[in-house]
Structure 1
């Protein structure tokens, strides 16, 4: 298929914009947004450039996102980099998995709905989130060892890592405390534009970017069931988002 020179130029400009900003909104760049949404050749070339860069380009609602694939360390994070960002110094794998588990608990606390939107609450207090993490870890540690192995997780290891952190209610930010550990995780998610962490109120709210990802990508039927299984949540109802929402993934 032959492309016009202007189409090629626009696709390159859009992809460079996505590399810099990670998302494209009409309110912030009307010309580029309309070029992507209204021109099939431009859209296809942008997606092709994304595939070459081991990423996908998707439009959720009125925002176009550049989403790195797993293992894309150029546009995303390597495991070693994430460990440095989320964990205390000299962290082990169990510390890294604990940080990932804390993020999973936060997601399930916000997104456990089965209707048009999976979001079930507007905010959560940090203390409530901390209690939820502790409760989930203890529940998981009570599972039989073979069941944990089947899930690919060792709750006991993560629980030991969590309990090795000191408790300090003086507002410390040290990563060797439970409060500092959670503070580090929340600040990282805020830096990614996924949540709003209101420190003075000890409150966490989700941002539109995370709402989009959860409703239209992460919480399709298969991924939603997997997250619930990891956290030990049983569901007797099929998620109505299911296959029908797969069509919403296409811009």
Structure 2
């Protein structure tokens, strides 16, 4: 199929903006929606880069659909950009875990397709992680090791990392520095999620989900078999005999 040269250039211009910013809005968004050739070309460009496009709140978002996409954010980048000096994969595992718990709070432990709350406080986020840790330690250590291979999550490392973080009940403001507190760690995770447009800060140490995140959760996150196994593991457990011994509170 032959495309109009002007539309090819317009589509490439919009693609470069998507590659840089991850979204289009305003007049750029209208160009995508109203021009069939630009629409088709953008879909082709992003598909070639193993990304998907979706619309939310009059904005067009581009997100990677595979880990082989050049736009996939790898572990090394996350460690160097957002975590403390010397951070390891164990710190990343805990960050991913904290993100799963964050979304679980908004989606009623993943029982709903729509958010059931409008905002979440950082202190409640910490409490919710404590609750999920209680679920994790109900499993014997050998079972957790077995599930690590199945889920690609280092559950023992997640428990141990959270255990080492103190639970000082100070104000959020005083916990934003380089202290080894759970609230300070959550501030670090929040910084990354805000940067990646997963959440917005709304003041009073509270956050809300972005429209981008709502769409991703509804369309992809809860529909992937791998994710479903992890969510069932974290939210559907009954107490188990021979539980892993971890005094993390």
Alignment TM-score, normalising by the size of structure 1: 0.79
1:53 is the counterpart of 2:69: no
Q: Per-residue CA shift, 1:81-140, capped at 9, x if unaligned?
A: 11234433222322210111001100111123656x421111122111101101212211
Alignment of 1:19-58 (within 5 A): 19-25=19-25, 28-29=26-27, 32-58=28-54
**Alignment counterpart, residue 102 of structure 1, candidates 74, 98, 101:** 98
1:136 is the counterpart of 2:139: no
- Counterpart position of 1:195: 199
Unaligned runs of 5+ in 2: 238-249
Unaligned runs of 5+ in 1: 235-251
Check whether the contact 1:60–1:216 (CA below 8 A) recurs between aligned residues.
no
- Counterpart position of 1:205: 208
- Counterpart position of 1:5: 5
- Counterpart position of 2:185: 181
Q: Per-residue CA shift, 1:19-40, capped at 9, x if unaligned?
A: 2321112xx22xx323322333
Counterpart CA distance in 2 for 1:198 and 1:33 is 26
Counterpart CA distance in 1 for 2:140 and 2:90 is 19
1:67 is the counterpart of 2:55: no
Give every structure 1 segment of 4 or more consecutive aligned residues whose post-TM-superposition deviation is greater than 6 Å: none
Counterpart CA distance in 1 for 2:74 and 2:189 is 16
Check whether the contact 2:200–2:207 (CA below 8 A) recurs between aligned residues.
yes
1:215 is the counterpart of 2:249: no
Cα distance change on mapping 1:220 and 1:60 into 2, 3 Å? farther
* Counterpart secondary structure, 1:197: strand
1:18 is the counterpart of 2:21: no
Counterpart CA distance in 1 for 2:13 and 2:181 is 45
* Deviates most, 5-14 or 215-224: 215-224
Counterpart CA distance in 2 for 1:141 and 1:155 is 9
Cα distance change on mapping 1:81 and 1:122 into 2, 3 Å? same
* Counterpart secondary structure, 1:181: helix
Counterpart CA distance in 1 for 2:40 and 2:179 is 45
Q: How many residues align?
A: 228
CA apart distance, 1:159: 1.4
Check whether the contact 1:47–1:57 (CA below 8 A) recurs between aligned residues.
yes
